[in-house]
Amino acid sequence: MNDKYNHPTKYFVHKFINWEKVEERLSKYKYINKYFPISTLKSEKFTEKPPFYCHYLAWRLGVWHNEDSFENFNYLLENAETINGWNGKKRIQNENEFGQFWSFLWELQVAEFLTSFPNLQVNWNVRNGPDLYIQKNSEELFVECKTIHKSFGLEKFIEEVLNQIDKTIRVSHGIFTKFSLSQDNERINLFDSIFRPFLDPAFIENKKIEVQKVSPLIIVENIYPNFFIYLENSDAKPASYELLSKIYSASDPIKYTDVIYNEIINKVKENNLESYHPNLLFVNLVLSKDWQLACGWNNQHNLPQSQNLDNVLLTACDIDKPANYNGFKGTINRESKIIQQLLNIKP
């Protein structure tokens, strides 16, 4: 009992993961089972490690209802095996970091996208460098895959756990504003402080009565200045203007895009990308809607540029299902037939 109250995050995560469902899905999806066996997913290396207390895939396999994401992930793993230089043991990213799933998935999606062009020779880059290496006749291109999700993984984890407790709970952050907790001790304390009140079933039931009178209703106070956990009721009296403006207003989209693009430029140092030319940094920003909204409000924003980045492609395509690559935005500093072919999106 004391462990439940001392470690509420661990309690809820272990409560909600359905291991029968995990094993059922592993038996159904050959390649997921091959690279993420039950012995790995159940390892105490993940189940006892804060702040998430689970392998990132164990949660999804044991909690998510829709099969489409797993069918797609299984296919992407199968395709990855067909690409020269694949080494499953080295490339599989077994972590309990919740957001790591999207980084790995995006890498697999880019690989699948590139192999859809029949005249491109695609290789996993086995050297200490970028993720993929492309050849076409005498041309070559080094590709690094990145997702910019900042603290989206934390927010999504909190939201998914709370929605297992009660599906009416809403989670959001202030648009274009900073929400960043990177230290493990801070995250452990954050999660436990959020989930602890819900150990008492009466807590959420009382809040659902309160929201009949005024909406939105903050149900966990003093978490982070621009991070909100609340209930809504369209028939209730509106909350104070101050609260409404905090939850639903936005900050400066121009400053936001500048911050994001600076972060993208800093990625040039990862996997020694700056040492490999010509290169392409392929970035997916779909994990938060902030970037799409910022671009809509700020049509004159300057895309990221760096002397060490030959090409940058930005997209916001779906990341949990087969991707639609329309709507690339990019900075092309070293044009090539390979880049032009990718931009034309005609496999």
- Domain assignment of residue 244, yes or no: yes
pLDDT in tens, 263-281: 777 777 778 888 898 999 8
Two structure tokens written together for 197: 């009140």
The pLDDT of residue 323:
57
Nearest to 193 by CA among 227, 242, 152: 227
* Model confidence at 201: pLDDT above 60: yes
Two structure tokens written together for 199: 């150990």
* Model confidence at 217: pLDDT above 50: yes
Two structure tokens written together for 284: 């997916």
Nearest to 131 by CA among 104, 165, 167: 104
The CA-atom distances, in angstroms, between 297 and each of 75, 176, 316 are 37, 12, 16
- Domain assignment of residue 297, yes or no: yes
The pLDDT of residue 88:
73
Total structural domains within the chain: 1
Q: What is the average pLDDT across 193-206?
A: 97
Contact 169, 219 (CB under 8 A): yes
Burial class (CB in 10 A: 0-12, 13-18, 19+), 343: middle
Q: Would you place residue 347 in the very low, low, confident or very high pLDDT band (cuts 50, 70, 90)?
A: very low
Q: What is the average pLDDT across 204-222?
A: 94
Which is it for strands 214-215 and 237-238: parallel, antiparallel or unpaired? parallel
- Domain assignment of residue 230, yes or no: yes
- Which value, in Å, is the radius of gyration of the alpha carbons in the chain? 22
Two structure tokens written together for 67: 């099969």
CA distance 159 to 156: 5
The whole domain housing 342 covers: 100-346
Task: Output DSSP code: residue 304.
Answer: P
- Domain assignment of residue 43, yes or no: no
Higher pLDDT, 151 or 290: 151
The pLDDT of residue 213:
96
- Domain assignment of residue 64, yes or no: no
* Model confidence at 177: pLDDT above 50: yes
The CA-atom distances, in angstroms, between 179 and each of 131, 173, 223, 225, 246 are 28, 7, 11, 9, 14
* Model confidence at 284: pLDDT above 60: yes
Q: Would you place residue 176 in the very low, low, confident or very high pLDDT band (cuts 50, 70, 90)?
A: low
Can you list the alpha helix ranges (DSSP code H) found in the chain? 2-6, 8-16, 19-28, 30-35, 38-41, 44-47, 56-63, 68-81, 88-91, 100-115, 152-165, 184-195, 201-210, 241-248, 253-266, 290-297, 337-344
- Domain assignment of residue 179, yes or no: yes
Contact 98, 55 (CB under 8 A): no
CA distance 322 to 71: 10
* Model confidence at 331: pLDDT above 70: no
CA distance 125 to 134: 9
What is the value of pTM for the model shown?
A: 0.89
pLDDT in tens, 4-43: 889 999 999 999 999 999 999 999 999 999 999 999 999 9
pLDDT in tens, 301-325: 566 677 788 888 887 766 665 555 5
Return the amino acid letter for 241. Y
Least confident stretch, 31-40, 208-217, 326-335: 326-335
* Model confidence at 298: pLDDT above 60: no
Higher pLDDT, 340 or 326: 340
The pLDDT of residue 250:
61
